[in-house]
Amino acid sequence: MNPVSKFTPKIRREKTALSNSDLSKKKQDTVQVFCRLRPLNDDEESSCIKLLSPTVLSLTTPAQSRAIRKEIQCTFKHIFTGYASQNEVFEHVAYPLLDNLLKGKNGLLFTYGVTGSGKTYTLTGNHANPGIMPKCIHTIFNSISEFQAPKYVIKPDRMNGFEIQSDGEVAQDKWNELKSTSKTPLRNKKVNKDKTYINDGIKIIDVNQNNLYSVFVSYNEIYNNIVYDLLDESKTLESKILREDSQKNMYVNGVVETEVKSAEEAFELFNIGQKRKRMGNTILNSVSSRSHSIFNIRVVQFQQVAHNDEGHQMIPDTNLLKVAQLSLVDLAGSERTNRTKNTGQLLKEASQINKSLMSLRTCLEVLRKNQMTNSNEPVPYRDSKLTLLLKNFFEGEGSVAMIVCVNPSVEDFEENLQVMNFAETTKNVQIAASESRYNTPHKKTICKRTATPNVCKSKGSFTFGPKLPKDIKINFSNPEESQIALENLASILKIRIQKTRDFSEQPENNFRKRLIEVEKENILINSDIKSVKTQLRKEKLKSTNVEAKLGDMEVYNRDLIGKNKELQNEIMSLRNIIAEKDLKINKNIVEKEKTEQKMALRAEKMTHELDAKLRRQREHLQAAMKAKENKIQKVREILDKELTPPDIEEKEPLQEYDPQQTPKQQPQQARRNGAATTPAVRRRRSRSAGDVWLEHNSVKPVPLGTVLQPSMKKRKSVTKLSKASDITNPKQSKYCLIAQEQDLEGELETKVYKGDILPTCGGGAQVIFNDVEKLRQESPTATK
């Protein structure tokens, strides 16, 4: 093969479902669908499934379900109740597939159902009740135990085919096996009882006793849509790729396919794979399969050796290897997240399981649609590794049987409804009846008594003289004619005898020389053949290594392409996020500017409103103060009119003025002391002698120059009280507030509010007003 041709793209139409015309040419066969009901647990009292006949059951909607209450009937090839034994399931389902297997026909058996419905128990079983897989292995070796070919005579070619080895290759393989066992410690021949299965002694009756048989097993799993080899001896399982062989059949590239000579060897390999199989603990099942497992059994048969005239064993040149495969598939159970409550890795595994099962359903639905409508819609086998690996069986490369495992509990009603719909779709899919597969090895002849292949050439015997007549007719009714025929035969025999004697009388030395020359030529030819075989083996090994590396590079390239797409998608998502954030930032900036403008307008409006409100309050207070001043002025006028003569005034003691008492309270105090009820005259005088005044001028007053101008020797003048220290200064004891304003008539009026500065308990100070001095200037000529 030209290595460059491997990289040349080949455009080939994907083979789809068989059309009606193809099915009419071949014998039609449908997928055989069986059903097995799991027994109810003790805590499960009610069932949603009712058995109507050995092939029909009804599925009833439970009362607590929200779905419309209805009854659905489903038909199967056979229904196994919860009391059915493993032997009954094996005889109905697997025994016909084994019969076809030993006749050279392929077979596929897979179990389908929800988690915890009994799929693994149906296929594997236990020590006391073996499942389908152990019974198949026991039945095969019970049937061909006397007709097995010697080990290593048949060997896989690692391209989904087989070849016959020469005696040298067989000896080399045996030596390698002996050398590997000598390096490792001896294996314990006693197998654990829980790792073996009871042999029921079942056999296939009509086995071809003229053939020799070799059995090969392999064990694969599909986990998260990645294919792994469970019999690979490497420490970590490596992903495998699917390839297509010369007969357009899919196979796992580089899979370990081991020849077994007994059921115990097959069980040992199966147990090794079971330890590496991925299991998980969920709410519905404590030992739940997290992957699809595929256990393959391949039987290779060929005609027994014949004997030639010299008594040597040989295989005829026209002999063909008949290869048949039985695949036992344990599908992982479909799950619903709201029931299993899976999270993390278990949730990811459940997602991949449901996705691959959905791909299987989609492929079968498309197959059924193509057959019913006579269309040619492509079947999406490549959506999942599971469907791609099983593609050949659905396209007529073998018989297909499915066991639907069902838990009849009411809690599993919705899952069972989906399972029944899938079963109804599957049982109507038609496939072409399987035929025997042949693998044509190199034409070799088995020489010697060891029955191992070697290339031999048979030589005919030497003939001397004329040929003997093919038939001699003796006619007893005509003796003369018979006598003539006998005389002719006698003359021919005499001539042949004479020539044979002449040849035997040749010198022995000449014959020896010729024999030595022939032997030398034979030795040279054999050495050339060995060197060519060695070179061919090396080239074949190189080609195998190159193919393996090419496959690894393809997987690596595919992974890089996938990672590149993921990174590009992540970059696009990040760009989108950045663009969204930029838009949000710009939007926030615009909203912020609008908010600031609104706040500025609102603050300006509030400022105007507050100014207007303060102006109104000031005007109101001014009016109130003017009204009070008018009242005080009237009271003063009344008091001035009621003043007594000066002599009486001097005799009366002057009552001390208490600034904290009101004018009404002072006469009452005088009465309690026994004084006269005549009010005391208040003398106006300045109290500014010897005190430090705080003069507070809210406006710059107009100089008065009159007697009402307060005389303050020590004072501090301020126009605005901006800090607390202006009042709390301990040196200051008096406070004076000077204000000037126009009255209602337009005349200038000056008011001097006087008070004492008293310290408070909190360290501050308060002002108590005790005197008000007024100066009113009027023009004498002005008209009022």
The binding site comprises: 113-120
Length, in residues, of the chain? 784
Residue 642 amino acid letter: E
Classified as helix, coil or strand, 191 is coil
Q: What's the rounded Cα separation, in Å, for the pair 750 and 737?
A: 11
Q: Which of 365, 360, 325, 362 minimizes the C-alpha distance to 113?
A: 360
Tokens of 92: 């109905």
Tokens of 88: 């009954």
Q: Which of 74, 63, 10, 51 minimizes the C-alpha distance to 426?
A: 74
Q: Which of 300, 310, 315 minimizes the C-alpha distance to 451?
A: 315
Q: What's the rounded Cα separation, in Å, for the pair 122 and 396?
A: 26
Edge to edge, what strands does the sheet with 56-60 contain?
Answer: 49-51, 56-60, 71-75
Q: What is the DSSP string of 436-472?
A: -EEE-----EEETTTTEEE-----PPP--SSPPPS--
Sequence-distant (≥ 6) Cβ neighbours of residue 396 within 8 angstroms: 18, 26, 431, 432, 433, 434
Q: What's the rounded Cα separation, in Å, for the pair 620 and 624?
A: 6
Annotated binding site for ATP: 113-120
Residue 502 amino acid letter: D
Contact by Cβ (8 Å): 54, 34: no
Sequence-distant (≥ 6) Cβ neighbours of residue 239 within 8 angstroms: 226, 227, 228, 555
Classified as helix, coil or strand, 758 is strand
Contact by Cβ (8 Å): 281, 191: no
Considering just the CA atoms, what is the radius of gyration of the chain in Å?
A: 59
Give the residues across from 301 on adjacent strands.
213, 322
Q: What's the rounded Cα separation, in Å, for the pair 140 and 203?
A: 7
Sequence-distant (≥ 6) Cβ neighbours of residue 272 within 8 angstroms: 230, 231
Q: Which of 28, 30, 94, 83 minimizes the C-alpha distance to 54?
A: 83
Contact by Cβ (8 Å): 416, 16: no
Query: How far apart, in Å, are the Cα atoms of 267 and each of 137, 217, 432, 545?
Result: 9, 10, 33, 31
Sequence-distant (≥ 6) Cβ neighbours of residue 278 within 8 angstroms: 221, 223, 289, 290, 291, 349
The rounded Cα 226 to chain-centroid distance in angstroms is 12
Contact by Cβ (8 Å): 738, 751: yes
Sequence-distant (≥ 6) Cβ neighbours of residue 218 within 8 angstroms: 229, 231, 252, 255, 256, 257, 258, 295, 296, 298
Query: How far apart, in Å, are the Cα atoms of 504 and each of 6, 494, 499, 511, 516?
Result: 61, 15, 9, 10, 18
Q: What's the rounded Cα separation, in Å, for the pair 387 and 362?
A: 10
CA angle at 559 for the pair 556 and 563, rounded to the nearest 5°:
140
